[in-house]
């Protein structure tokens, strides 16, 4: 096989292309998050219902990825990712014209389906094209693009909504997504190690069951769901907490909280590299402990303490995500895009379920309830990490387990 080597022009282009693609995907997906309090006021709906504008997208995205990952095995990685980014960006711009909240939800559902192409395929592309010793670094760079995209989408929508309206915020995010889509198509090197397979749904279903029967993959999927559930809950209801007394911040000021995503950009690359050298179990456990510490730090009423705590949580969360997602690519022996899509199915299902359940917790118990809820999710994820560490990978030599 001919791999993309570290330092080569093709390696750099691939990283920049997937950075741009991840930026577009997550800008479009998460641009509504700082707008949740605005939706609640504009459409006269509860926080739980307002959070559906994000939850329905992530839920449809999670399910659609299973189908799209299978299609990419037959159609190729590049066409699937390109069409995904283009259609999702156009739908985001179109959602600015929504006459009511129900139509906005409908368009957000279509966006979720359209967005499935890149996350379902990108990790498979990296697993096939990048030399194994650089996979953690490449995955970290890709996830950093996701992080910066989520940050950029939230900042653009928050500031534009404050200056104009939520409609202009969605239109601006769609335009930003289109620009990134063009850069992605220009930079991404063609696949060299991909071999198209005819669509055989029975074989793909059998492969799907095979991934789910792998206990190490299963534990990684559960960890992804738990941590993402806590992550989305923390940020969703931080926007409500900071919009209300004693803080009373405007949408543009609330959107600045997402600058903490820059910590995730750093930690995903840094911890991804450490995982390649020091071992994935160690880095996954350390990242989870940092996330738990961050949740605890948000408990005081002090605005500074809450921001610091969310920052520590963000650092730990993205380190864990980079480690776990890269680990999936190593453990899956075939149909890597499908294995990665299963990881993301659990990941985004956690986002959808956690975001909605968190709304019930927020309505019942406020921020104190959110802290307990998220901390509980992280503790269970840490237990799963311990079980993962103790379970050997029988397909590898015993002395290589730590580098999986």
Count CB neighbours of 109 within 10 A. Answer: 18
Total number of domains in the chain: 1
2 DSSP assignment: -
Dump pLDDT digits (tens) for 204-234: 677 777 677 778 888 999 999 999 999 999 9
- Residue 30 CA to residue 264 CA, distance in Å, equals 15
Does residue 68 fall inside a structural domain? yes
The encoded tokens of residue 42 equal 């504009």
pLDDT at 309: 96
The encoded tokens of residue 233 equal 């809950």
Residue 212: CB partners within 8 Å, gap ≥ 6? Answer: 218, 342
99 DSSP assignment: S
In 3D space, the residue among 315, 272, 274 whose CA is nearest the CA of residue 292 turns out to be: 315
**Nearest 5°: phi and psi at 5?**
-85, 145
- Residue 311 CA to residue 254 CA, distance in Å, equals 14
Residue 304: CB partners within 8 Å, gap ≥ 6? Answer: none
Does residue 124 fall inside a structural domain? yes
For 96-116, where are the alpha helices, taking DSSP H only?
101-115
- Residue 254 CA to residue 339 CA, distance in Å, equals 36
pLDDT at 399: 32
pLDDT at 317: 94
251 DSSP assignment: H
Does residue 157 fall inside a structural domain? yes
Does residue 3 fall inside a structural domain? no
- Residue 255 CA to residue 240 CA, distance in Å, equals 11
Dump pLDDT digits (tens) for 293-340: 999 999 998 999 999 999 999 999 999 988 888 788 677 666 666 777
- Residue 117 CA to residue 124 CA, distance in Å, equals 11
Dump pLDDT digits (tens) for 1-12: 676 767 678 888
Provide the Cα torsion 82, 87, 90, 95; round to 10°.
Answer: -140
- Residue 279 CA to residue 401 CA, distance in Å, equals 8
Calculate what percentage of the chain has a pLDDT beyond 70.
89
For 31-100, where are the alpha helices, taking DSSP H only?
36-42, 47-50, 52-75, 77-95
Does residue 112 fall inside a structural domain? yes
- Name the residue range of residue 140's domain: 9-189+199-403
Task: Specify the range with the lowest mean pLDDT, choosing from 4-8, 123-127, 154-158, 239-243.
Answer: 4-8
Count CB neighbours of 247 within 10 A. Answer: 13
Where does residue 304 rank: exposed (0-12), middle (13-18), buried (19+ CB within 10 A)? exposed
- Residue 320 CA to residue 147 CA, distance in Å, equals 13
- Residue 246 CA to residue 4 CA, distance in Å, equals 52
Residue 389: CB partners within 8 Å, gap ≥ 6? Answer: 281, 285
Dump pLDDT digits (tens) for 16-54: 888 899 889 989 999 998 899 899 999 999 888 998 999
Residue 400 has pLDDT above 50, yes or no: no
Dump pLDDT digits (tens) for 353-362: 887 888 889 9
Residue-wise DSSP of 170-214: HHHHHHHHHHHHHHHHHHPPPPSS-------HHHHHHHHHHHHH-
Q: Are 58 and 29 in contact (CB under 8 A)?
A: yes
Count CB neighbours of 16 within 10 A. Answer: 17
Does residue 1 fall inside a structural domain? no
Calculate what percentage of the chain has a pLDDT beyond 90.
38
- Residue 124 CA to residue 83 CA, distance in Å, equals 17
Q: Average pLDDT, whole number, for the chain?
A: 84
CATH of residue 210: 1.20.1250.20
pTM of the model as a whole: 0.73
Better pLDDT: 134 or 84: 84
Residue 401 has pLDDT above 50, yes or no: no
Residue 99 has pLDDT above 80, yes or no: yes
Does residue 343 fall inside a structural domain? yes
Dump pLDDT digits (tens) for 120-152: 788 778 777 777 777 777 777 777 777 788 888
Q: 3-state SS of the chain: helix, strand, coil percent to 5?
A: 85, 0, 15
Does residue 4 fall inside a structural domain? no
pLDDT at 119: 79
Rounded to 10 deg, the angle between the 101-115 and 77-95 helix axes is 170
């Amino acid at each position: 096989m001919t791999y993309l080597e570290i330092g080569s022009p093709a390696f750099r282009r691939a990283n920049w292309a997937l950075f741009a693609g991840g930026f577009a995907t997550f800008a479009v997906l998460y641009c509504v998050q700082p707008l949740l309090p605005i939706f609640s006021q504009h459409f006269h709906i509860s926080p739980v219902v307002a959070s559906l504008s994000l939850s329905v997208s992530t839920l449809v995205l999670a399910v659609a990825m299973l189908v799209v990952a299978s299609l990419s095995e037959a159609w190729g990685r590049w066409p699937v990712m390109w069409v995904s980014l283009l259609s999702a960006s156009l739908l985001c711009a179109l959602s600015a014209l929504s006459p009511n909240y129900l139509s906005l939800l409908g368009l957000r559902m279509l966006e979720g389906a359209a967005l499935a192409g890149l996350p379902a395929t990108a990790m498979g592309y990296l697993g096939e094209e990048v030399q194994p010793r650089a996979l953690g670094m490449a995955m970290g760079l890709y996830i950093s693009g996701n992080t910066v995209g989520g940050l950029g989408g939230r900042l653009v929508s928050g500031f534009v909504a404050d200056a104009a309206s939520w409609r202009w915020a969605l239109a601006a995010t769609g335009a930003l997504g289109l620009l990134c889509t063009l850069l992605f198509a220009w930079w991404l090197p063609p696949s060299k190690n991909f071999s198209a397979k005819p669509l055989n749904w029975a074989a793909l279903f059998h492969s799907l069951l095979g991934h789910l029967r792998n206990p190490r993959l299963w534990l990684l999927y559960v960890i992804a769901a738990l941590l993402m559930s806590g992550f989305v809950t923390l940020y969703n209801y931080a926007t409500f907490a900071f919009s209300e007394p004693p803080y009373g911040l405007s949408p543009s000021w609330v959107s600045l909280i997402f600058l903490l995503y820059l910590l995730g950009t750093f930690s995903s690359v840094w911890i991804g590299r450490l995982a390649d050298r020091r071992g994935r179990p160690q880095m996954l456990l350390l990242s989870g402990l940092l996330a738990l510490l961050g949740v605890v730090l948000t408990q005081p009423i002090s605005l500074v303490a809450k921001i610091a705590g969310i920052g520590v949580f963000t650092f730990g969360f993205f380190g864990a995500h980079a480690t776990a997602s890269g680990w999936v690519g190593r453990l899956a022996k075939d149909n890597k895009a499908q294995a990665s899509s299963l990881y993301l199915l659990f990941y985004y299902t956690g986002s959808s379920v956690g975001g909605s359940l968190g709304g019930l917790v927020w309505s019942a118990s406020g921020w104190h309830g959110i802290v307990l809820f998220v901390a509980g999710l992280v503790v269970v994820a840490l237990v799963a990490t311990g079980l993962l560490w103790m379970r050997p990978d029988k397909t590898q030599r015993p002395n290589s387990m730590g580098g999986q």
